[in-house]
Amino acid sequence: MEFITQPWAWYVAGPIIALVMFLLYYFGERFGVSSNLETLCSIGGAGRFVDYFKIDWKQNSWNLIFVAGGITGGFIASQWLSPTDVVAINPQTIQDLADIGIQNAGATYLPEEIFSIETMLSLKGFLILLIAGIMVGFGARWAGGCTSGHAIVGLSNLELPSLIAVIGFFIGGLIMTWFILPLLF
């Protein structure tokens, strides 16, 4: 059990990811999580209103199973395979977060100042979630995929649009971390 609960070294996890990518490429499949929104909208009947959603969603059913497995696996890992809620964070990062009002950073995986029910139900929290959700959803569709799709699949297939998207994701993350997050908190 100790082997499962500890982080895996890059030389174990990396080849496993590479094997999965090779198998997906071999079988002509593409991996990505954001494309499941398209599939779910198609299942829900959005194709009756928007031509974009007129797709055969059954071709993507394997990806829905993957997402269900990811959600189930995340739940199992958080409930039974996490040895502690304490997260190892660099002391300077803890100080930087405290400076913008996020106290006890690293004490749990999800800081109360951002992820508590009270925060999410406040006007500020609700607006942050709503705007962030719209931006992430729009950005993933506009970029032709999410971070996992571009960074893992696109880069492993040596796709230039994925490289450009990943560079944009990093730039956006830096802007959010250093400029926008301090303004919000």
Domain membership of residue 99 (yes or no) is no
| C-alpha dist (Å) from residue 63 to 39, 43, 68, 134 | 9, 13, 9, 22
For residues 132 and 173, state if they share a domain. Answer: yes
Q: Give the pLDDT mean for 52-74.
A: 86
Whole-structure pTM over 0.75, yes or no? Answer: no
Task: Render 106-145 in DSSP notation, one character per residue.
Answer: TSSSS-HHHHSHHHHHSHHHHHHHHHHHHHHHHHHHHTTS
- What is the chain's alpha carbon radius of gyration, rounded to the nearest angstrom? 19
DSSP assignment string, 151-176: IIIIHHTT-HHHHHHHHHHHHHHHHI
Query: Which residues contact residue 65 at a Cβ distance below 8 angstroms, ignoring those fewer than 6 apart?
Result: none
Round to whole Å and give the CA distance between 130 and 139. 14
Are 77 and 122 found together in one domain?
no
Q: Which amino acid is at 53?
A: F
Output the pLDDT for position 115.
84
Q: Does one domain contain both 56 and 120?
A: no
Give tens-digit pLDDT for 128-185.
889 988 888 888 878 888 887 888 888 888 889 999 999 998 999 999 888 988 888 7
Query: Hey, what are 14's tokens?
Result: 């990396």
Q: Which amino acid is at 184?
A: L
What is the Cα 33 distance to its own chain's centre?
A: 8
Assess whether 26 and 73 both reside in one domain: yes
- pLDDT level of residue 71 (50, 70, 90 thresholds): very high
Q: Is residue 150 part of a domain?
A: yes
Is residue 95 domain-resident?
no
Tell me the one-letter amino acid at 17. I
pLDDT at 92: 92
What residues make up the domain containing 22? Answer: 1-83
Task: Please count the other Cβ atoms lying within 10 Å of the Cβ belonging to residue 22.
Answer: 11
Do 25 and 79 have their domain in common? yes
Indicate whether 92 belongs to any domain: no
Per-residue pLDDT at 153: 83
Q: How many CB atoms are closer than 10 A to CB 42? A: 19
Does residue 103 lie within any of the structural domains?
A: no
- Same-domain check for residues 122 and 168: yes
Identify which of 131, 151, 176 has the alpha carbon closest to the alpha carbon of residue 34.
151
Does the pLDDT value for residue 39 go beyond 80? yes
Is residue 104 situated within a structural domain?
no
Domain total for the chain? 2
Are 14 and 69 in a shared domain? yes
